Amino acid sequence: MDQISTIVLAIGLIVIMLGMGLSLVAEDFKRIVVYPKAILLGLTNQLIILPLIGFAVCVLFSLSPDIAIGIMILAACPGGPTSNLIAHLAKGDLALSVSLTAISSLVTIISIPFIVNFALVYFLAEGQIIQLNIAQSIMQIFVIIVIPIGIGMILRRYKEDFAKKMANPVRKASGILLAIIIIGIVIKEKQNLIPYFKQAGLAALVLNVATMFVGYYSSKLFRLINKQAISISIESGIQNGTLAISIAVVLLQNSAFAIAPAIYSLLMFFTGGLIIFMAKKGTKTVLV
């Protein structure tokens, strides 16, 4: 992607993060005290189990370096605003979902550069290895995540009516921007699109389904209620694809790394929609 496209992508992610901030309040970060077991289990799934499953998928499917790195970037990312909407429609615990998204978005500022660097070193050939500058990457991710979320939360705190009015338009704009971003990547990589989709499609689907499965049944193992299990499942399996694409294009300047996150971003709407459909039908355990 050219410099203009990269800037547009970064601005798009900032808008999406601003929209997330408009929906957050300070209490969302305090819920770790209210139900610590659910929060800690959700964060464990997102920060530890998800990258391990992502790595296992890359190895088991013998993915090409570009696709494998894209999968690992995705696995390093937190849940996104879409996960909150799906959790709500699937009759999960919305407060837990929002809290997990908020907290993981902050924690992964530190973890993303390390996981991505591991992927670059492990999957690229010796002569191709590139590495992120950890400190610089943390600052860049901080700028495109924390600052917009903080601005959104300040607006919500002091201009609540304005924040509520803006939440829906910003959410719609976020969806349009994501669509534009994916279309841009498809056009840029059109020559490799079919081979990439053959490689990344099944791997992205397995990552999505496996992480949701583990999220749900680990919650049941720790005796959490069904609403919490649904939210942890969705937070574990619905990742911030836009952030993953931004890391690939803005930080690593390689649109090929963004193919797997782009495909995942499409597939997660189908699996998320299936969970919502099953919840609407009154299925008690939505992942069976």
Residue 126 in this model has a pLDDT that exceeds 60: no
Query: From the CB of residue 279, how many other CB atoms can be counted at a distance below 10 Å?
Result: 18
Specify the pLDDT at position 61: 92
Residue ranges of domains in the chain: 3-279
> Residues near 71 by Cβ (< 8 Å), separated by ≥ 6?
54, 57, 58, 63, 200, 203, 204, 207, 260
pLDDT digit string, tens, across residues 243-274: 888 888 878 888 888 888 888 887 887 888 88
CATH class of 3-279: mainly alpha
Residue 262 contacts residue 102 (beta carbons within 8 Å): no
Residue 201's identity, in one-letter code, is G
Confidence of residue 8 (pLDDT cuts 50, 70, 90): low
User: Please, which residues bridge with residue 217 across strands?
Assistant: none
User: Please, which residues bridge with residue 239 across strands?
Assistant: 79
Residue 162 in this model has a pLDDT that exceeds 50: yes
Specify the pLDDT at position 139: 76
Specify the pLDDT at position 58: 94
Residue 7 in this model has a pLDDT that exceeds 70: no
Specify the pLDDT at position 216: 92
CA distance 87 to 228: 10
Confidence of residue 94 (pLDDT cuts 50, 70, 90): confident
Residue 88's identity, in one-letter code, is H
Residue 172 in this model has a pLDDT that exceeds 90: no
Q: Which of 116-120, 127-131, 137-141 has the highest mean pLDDT?
A: 116-120
pTM (2 decimals)?
A: 0.79
